[in-house]
Chain A
Amino acid sequence: EDQVTQSPEALRLQEGESSSLNCSYTVSGLRGLFWYRQDPGKGPEFLFTLYSAGEEKEKERLKATLTKKESFLHITAPKPEDSATYLCAVLGDGSGTYKYIFGTGTRLKVLA
């Protein structure tokens, strides 16, 4: 069964304390893995697309990596404004139709 699991569910960091969020996935015919940031009461904001194992993408304090079974979102020296829920999604087409599956997210709180 295609699925996406994110861990931890919630994470509290001190400002400057680097850490990683995990996204484990099972999908047939991976077409891409996507990271989004969602602030409370707002729609998700697209961050990165990763297409193949070994690929990495960076944006400011965020770096996303991909293996054949999971992706990590590394947050280096986070600031309070990085507090948000981070969502992972995968797109697969192994069944002949596109399937886009979201994880339940990691709620990140960065304390000043």
Chain B
Amino acid sequence: DGGITQSPKYLFRKEGQNVTLSCEQNLNHDAMYWYRQDPGQGLRLIYYSQIVNDFQKGDIAEGYSVSREKKESFPLTVTSAQKNPTAFYLCASSPGQGAGGYTFGSGTRLTVV
């Protein structure tokens, strides 16, 4: 079945450490997205990519970085510059940026220890 796979499901980060969250899709979608979800807030866009080797900052990109070397993969690195990284991170994809209904992965919960 086609879908999006996020790993790991749970991740713990020490202060000053960079961590990378994996996102892989087999839907042949061009557009991929990273969102952050905090209690009581809507999903906030971190980064998005419409095509391989190209990506754009979203509303809260500071302290994060991404790459898009393959159509199927869009990993997110949470750097030590992100001061409040504890959150639920969601990866999504769509056929194109103007195509509406997103397919989401199952999420990664990141906790700072």
For A100, list chain B residues within 8 Å (CB).
Answer: 45
Q: Pick the interface stretch among B11-19, B66-74, B77-85, B98-106.
A: B98-106
- Residues on B lying within 8 angstroms of A by beta carbon are 4, 6, 40-43, 45, 90, 92, 97-98, 100-107, 109
Neighbour of B90 across the interface among A43, A91, A93, A98, CB < 8 A: A43
Main SS at interface, chain B? loop
State which size class the interface on A falls in: 20 to 34
A45 located at the interface, meaning its Cβ lies under 8 Å from any Cβ of chain B in the complex: yes
Of A34, A43, A105, the contact of B106 (CB 8 Å cutoff): A43
Chain A interface mostly: strand
In-complex Cβ contact of A104 among B6, B40, B104, B105 (8 A): B40
A106 interface residue (CB < 8 Å to B): no
A-B interface contact total, Cβ < 8 Å: 48
Known contacts A42-B106, A43-B90; 18 further A-B pairs (Cβ under 8 A): A4-B42, A31-B100, A32-B100, A41-B109, A43-B104, A43-B107, A44-B43, A44-B102, A45-B104, A46-B102, A46-B104, A49-B100, A49-B101, A87-B42, A91-B100, A102-B42, A104-B40, A105-B42
A102-B43 contact in complex given A31-B98, A31-B100, A44-B90, C-beta closer than 8 Å: yes
A101 touching B42, Cβ below 8 Å: yes
Which residues of A, 59-109, contact B by the 8 Å Cβ criterion? 87, 89, 91, 93, 98, 100-105
Chain A contacts to B: CB under 8 angstroms: 4, 31-32, 34, 36, 41-46, 49, 87, 89, 91, 93, 98, 100-105
Cα distance, A88 to B110, chains bound together (Å): 25
Q: Could you tell me the distance in whole angstroms from the C-beta of B56 to the nearest C-beta in chain A?
A: 9
Query: Distance (Å) between the CB of A44 and the closest chain B CB?
Result: 5
- Please state if A43 and B105 are interface contacts (CB–CB under 8 Å): yes
